[in-house]
Amino acid sequence: MPNDTPYDTPVLRAIPREQHTISRKDISPNALRVLYRLREGGHEAYLVGGAVRDLLAGGRPKDFDIATGATPEEVKALFRNCRLIGRRFRLAHVVFGREIIEVATFRANSDDGSGDRETHEDGRLLRDNVYGTVEDDAVRRDFTANALYYTIEDFSVRDYVGGFEDVQNRVLKLIGDPETRYREDPVRMLRAVRLAAKLDFSIDPATAAPIRALAPLLSEAAPARLFEECLKLFLSGHGVASFEGLERHGLLPALLPEAAAAMKANRSGALRAVVLEGLRGTDARVAADEPVSPAFLFALLLWPAYCRTLMSLQAQDVPPADAQRRAADRVTVHELQAVALPRRFSVPMQEIWLLQSRFGLRQRKRVMRMLAHPRFRAAFDFLQVRQAGSSEHAADIAFWREAQLDPDMAIAHTPPAEDGEAPRAPRRRRRRPASASAG
């Protein structure tokens, strides 16, 4: 059971403007607008969390969040373009076109009965809407690097838990007792790995120590929430580092149980090599600001599980086409118990897998049908990634690369079958004999 005593005693240290690197020109004008309006309304308000952390670490934040002493209802009263969301955490969203500035009320650690807090018997926070001061809010945050507050009052950074030094030292450290904090919210373990990968930070030894033992707690997290965490882990440009971090801290089996087991059993390391090669490509696409697909990502992450399940079914003499379909369905259903993969992504994921067996076909009709398939390009990209695990795909890759440019030429260059015979010509359709009454 979690206790209601503060995790750490907050001690304010104000870092003046001349001692930090944050400039207003690097902050969203809409976020500044919200900060000034809240201040004019008589409320404390700070830029907080990831935006402050990233600006200090030399990054460029995508989101600008604000913490304030105003309640969600008071924020809504100040902004006509505001909507209130959330039940677990009540928040205000101030909407400026496509940009949303998230405004959270300072949260307290102890509940005197006037707030709205609910915890599960195992320590998980189910709802936390107990409001307090900025000092209370600081020690309620997860990592010290996220508990930094930038104020427009004097442009200083306010630090209550030593986060400024941790950012300077590039170390990720939990506030309070790590095991207690992970039990409150098991997804914090994934956040630790993701932020360390994104920021190129190390994880403080005390923060990392309980993760492997507590990894099974992720099974208690909502599968839909874990799906969103997977997208953040692997589609933010740091997929390889995130994957290696999950492996290092024993979290991969909790997130991708069958895939992790398949890679562990694969002595050659070929399956893991394919996953890492695909993640490198995904990271490169994100860096080049090119689109990335959750369907392709999960086809990649679950490929080891699919291969292992397919081999098991083939060993039971299940016909190849049936084995492929059954393996795809089985892997998908089992993974849904951990991660809520939406059908709009699971269906194309399976198509990418099932198309792999068709790359060995060379008949003209099948080649043209394959080229016209809506998942062809994704399946071909996947085939190229598979070369990281085996060189046997080189001939297929060369053929289909040429086929995309000139299918007739590619088919003409196809070598004869192994028995020396040329590929059979398509069978001519036989005419039905005319009936006697046709005259």
Q: Which residues contact 359 (CB under 8 A, 6 or more apart)?
A: 370, 379, 380, 383, 393, 396, 400
Q: Is residue 63 annotated as part of the catalytic site, yes or no?
A: yes
Q: Please state, in angstroms and rounded to a whole number, the distance separating the CA atoms of residues 51 and 56.
A: 9
Kindly name the residue from 54, 65, 166, 185 that is annotated as catalytic.
65
Q: Which residues contact 410 (CB under 8 A, 6 or more apart)?
A: 367, 399, 400, 402, 403
Q: Please state, in angstroms and rounded to a whole number, the distance separating the CA atoms of residues 39 and 250.
A: 45
Kindly name the residue from 136, 137, 142, 166 that is annotated as catalytic.
142
- Please give the DSSP secondary-structure letter assigned to residue 85: E
Q: Please state, in angstroms and rounded to a whole number, the distance separating the CA atoms of residues 274 and 332.
A: 19
Range list of H helices, 122-222: 134-140, 163-168, 178-184, 187-199, 205-208, 211-214
**Nearest Cα residue to 145 out of 17, 19, 55, 228:** 55
Contact status, residue 130 vs residue 117, Cβ threshold 8 Å: yes
Contact status, residue 258 vs residue 305, Cβ threshold 8 Å: yes
Rg of the chain's alpha carbons, rounded to an integer? 28
Q: Is residue 8 annotated as part of the catalytic site, yes or no?
A: no
Q: Please state, in angstroms and rounded to a whole number, the distance separating the CA atoms of residues 127 and 87.
A: 7
- Helix/strand/coil percentages in the chain, nearest 5: 55, 10, 35
Q: How many Cβ atoms from other residues are within 10 Å of residue 50's Cβ?
A: 21
**Nearest Cα residue to 206 out of 166, 160, 256, 260:** 166
DSSP SS3 for 82: strand
Q: Which amino acid is at 98?
A: R
Q: Is residue 204 annotated as part of the catalytic site, yes or no?
A: no
Give the residue numbers marked as catalytic.
63, 65, 142
